[in-house]
Chains A and B, each alone.
Chain A
Amino acid sequence: MNATPLAIRCRDIVKTYDTGGQVVTALNGVNLDINMGELMMLVGPSGCGKTTLISIIAGILDQTSGDCELFGENLLTLRSKDKLRFRAENIGFVFQAYNLLPALNAAENVSVPLIINGVKRGEAERRAAQMLEKVGLGERTMSLPAQLSGGQQQRVAIARALIHSPRLIVCDEPTSALDHESGQNVMNLLKAVALDQQRVLVIVTHDARIFNFADRIAEMDDGHIVNVAHSAAELK
Chain B
Amino acid sequence: MNHIALKMLMGDKGKYLGIVMGLTFASLIMTQQPAIFIGLMARSYSFISDVGLPDIWVMDPKVQFIDDIKPMQETELYRVRGITGVEWAMPLYKGLLKARLTDGAFQTCNVVGLDDTTLIGGPAVMLEGKLSDLRRSDAVIIDIDGASEKLAKPAATPDGKKTPLKVGDSLELNDRRAIVVGLAKVTRTFQSQPVIYTTYSRAKSYAPVERKMLSFVLVKAKPGQDKAELVKRIVAITGLEAYTQDDFKKLTYSYFLKNTGIPINFGITIALGFIVGTAIAGQTFYNFTLENLRQFGVLKAMGASNSTLLRMILLQAVVVGSIGYGLGVGIAALFGFLMRHSILAFKMPWQLLVFSGGGVGLICVMVALISIMKVIRLEPAIVFKS
Interface of A toward B, CB cutoff 8 Å: 51, 54-55, 58, 60-61, 81, 84-85, 87-89, 91, 93, 95-97, 99, 101-104, 108, 112-113, 115-117, 121, 172-173
Contacts and interface: CB of A to CB of B under 8 A. Distances in A.
B301 interface: yes
B341 interface: no
Contact of B305 (A54, A81, A104): A81
B14 interface: no
Contacts of A88: 302-304
B299 interface: yes
B11 interface: yes
Contact of A84 (B8, B11, B303, B379): B303
Contacts of B11: 102-104
A104 B301 contact: no
Contacts of B295: 99, 101-102
Most buried by A among B1, B298, B304: B298
B7 A116 contact: no
A112 B299 contact: yes
Given A101-B4, A102-B11, A104-B7, A172 B384 contact: yes
B103 interface: no
A110 B316 CA distance: 22
Contacts of A51: 381, 384
A2 B293 CA distance: 43
B7 A87 contact: no
B366 interface: no
B359 interface: no
Given A61-B381, A95-B384, A172-B384, A103 B8 contact: yes
Contacts of B304: 84, 88, 116
B376 to A, nearest CB: 12
Contacts of B386: 96-97, 173
Nearest to B12: A103
What 4 A-B pairs come out closest when comparing CB atoms? A103-B11, A88-B303, A60-B380, A103-B7
B10 interface: yes
Interface string B1-29: 10110011011100000000000000000
22 contacts: A54-B384, A55-B381, A55-B384, A84-B303, A85-B303, A88-B302, A88-B303, A91-B303, A93-B301, A93-B302, A96-B386, A99-B295, A104-B4, A104-B7, A108-B3, A113-B303, A116-B1, A116-B299, A116-B304, A116-B308, A172-B384, A173-B386
Interface residues of B, number: 25
A51 to B, nearest CB: 5
A93 B384 CA distance: 10
Contacts of A103: 7-8, 10-12
B287 to A, nearest CB: 16
Contacts of A102: 11, 295
B305 to A, nearest CB: 5
A102 B8 CA distance: 8
Contacts of A58: 301
A128 to B, nearest CB: 13
B299 A60 contact: no
A156 B7 CA distance: 18
Most buried by A among B1, B300, B304: B304
Given A61-B381, A103-B8, A117 B303 contact: yes
B88 to A, nearest CB: 71
Nearest to B2: A121
Given A54-B384, A95-B383, A173-B386, A108 B7 contact: yes
B294 interface: yes
Contacts of B305: 81, 84
B97 to A, nearest CB: 70
Nearest to A50: B384
Interface string B300-335: 111111001000000000000000000000000000
A223 to B, nearest CB: 16
Given A60-B301, A113-B303, A116-B302, A99 B383 contact: yes
Contacts of A172: 384
A84 B379 CA distance: 13
Nearest to A90: B303
B257 to A, nearest CB: 49
Interface string B348-384: 0000000000000000000000000000000111011
Nearest to B294: A99
Contacts of B298: 93, 95, 99, 101
Contacts of A55: 381, 384
Interface string B186-224: 000000000000000000000000000000000000000
A78 B11 CA distance: 36
Given A104-B7, A112-B4, 10 more contacts: A85-B303, A88-B304, A91-B302, A93-B383, A99-B294, A102-B11, A104-B4, A115-B4, A116-B302, A117-B303
A51 B381 CA distance: 9
A205 to B, nearest CB: 13
B76 to A, nearest CB: 76
A97 B383 CA distance: 9
Interface in B242-257: none
B291 to A, nearest CB: 10
Given A99-B294, A101-B8, A103-B8, A112 B384 contact: no
A115 B312 CA distance: 13
A97 B381 CA distance: 14
A112 B302 contact: yes
A103 B305 CA distance: 21
A88 B380 CA distance: 13
A85 B307 CA distance: 13
